[in-house]
């Protein structure tokens, strides 16, 4: 049989442990509340830092500069990526209403190599015969929508849909990239 003294010690130890755990839980809750209210990114996802050279440009950077001129731009979901029969690199999809912008970002050992690769590819593109297709082979640009090509730095964009004003807006936005 357990003596009455041993039962009191266990009860007292359990009470102390329970109190310690309760105080710790309050501390964690307070810390979480403090982090929540002082977190600078709680209003939305943070913007990526600006690219410092053509070697640092990625799709998030392109979306950021486009969003500054027109906040309706978003990542394209279907298809997320395309292949162009006249370009070696895959394109990534951005969307504004019913206009699709396919972003081709060129690679190279240096920023100058990336720009040179984009320039060479851009010179070889013929918009009248260009075919954009999904990974499964479905052709995207056969609907009679106008097609524009916008180039800057290591980025070449093919815009399907839209108009001349939107193409100029995209060119101006891309001009903010290094």
Q: What are the structural domain ranges in the chain?
A: 4-43, 54-174
Classify domain 54-174 at the CATH class level: alpha beta
Rounded to an integer, the average pLDDT of 148-168 is 91
DSSP assignment of 142-160: -S---EEEEEETTEEEEEE
Range of weakest confidence among 29-38, 50-59, 60-69: 50-59
* 161 secondary structure, DSSP code: S
- Phi, psi at 65, each rounded to 5°: -70, -35
How far is Cα of residue 109 from the mean position of the Cα atoms in its chain? 23
* 138 secondary structure, DSSP code: -
What are the pLDDT digits (tens) for 69-78?
888 899 988 8
- The token duo for 108 is 């190279």
pLDDT of residue 82: 92
Share of the chain above pLDDT 70, in %: 85
pLDDT of residue 165: 92
pTM score, two decimals? Answer: 0.70
Alpha-carbon distance values, 170 to 4, 32, 115 (Å): 82, 42, 18
The residue written with tokens 């050992």 in the block is: 109
* 70 secondary structure, DSSP code: -
* 41 secondary structure, DSSP code: G
């Amino acid at each position: 049989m357990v003596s009455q003294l041993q039962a009191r010690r266990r009860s007292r130890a359990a009470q102390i442990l329970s109190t310690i755990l309760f105080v710790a839980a309050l501390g964690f809750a307070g810390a979480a509340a403090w982090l929540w209210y002082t977190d600078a990114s709680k209003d939305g996802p943070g913007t990526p830092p600006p690219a410092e050279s053509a070697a640092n440009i990625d799709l998030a950077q392109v979306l950021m500069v486009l969003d500054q001129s027109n906040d309706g731009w978003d990542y394209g979901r279907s298809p997320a990526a395309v292949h162009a029969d006249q370009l070696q690199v895959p394109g990534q999809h951005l969307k504004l209403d019913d206009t699709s912008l396919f972003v081709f970002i060129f690679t190279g050992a240096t920023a100058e190599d990336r720009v040179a690769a984009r320039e060479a590819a851009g010179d070889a593109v013929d918009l009248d015969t260009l075919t954009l297709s999904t990974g499964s082979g479905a052709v995207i640009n056969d609907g009679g929508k106008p097609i524009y090509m916008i180039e800057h730095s290591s980025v070449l964009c093919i815009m399907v849909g839209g108009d001349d004003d939107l193409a100029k807006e995209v060119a101006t936005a891309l001009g903010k990239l290094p």
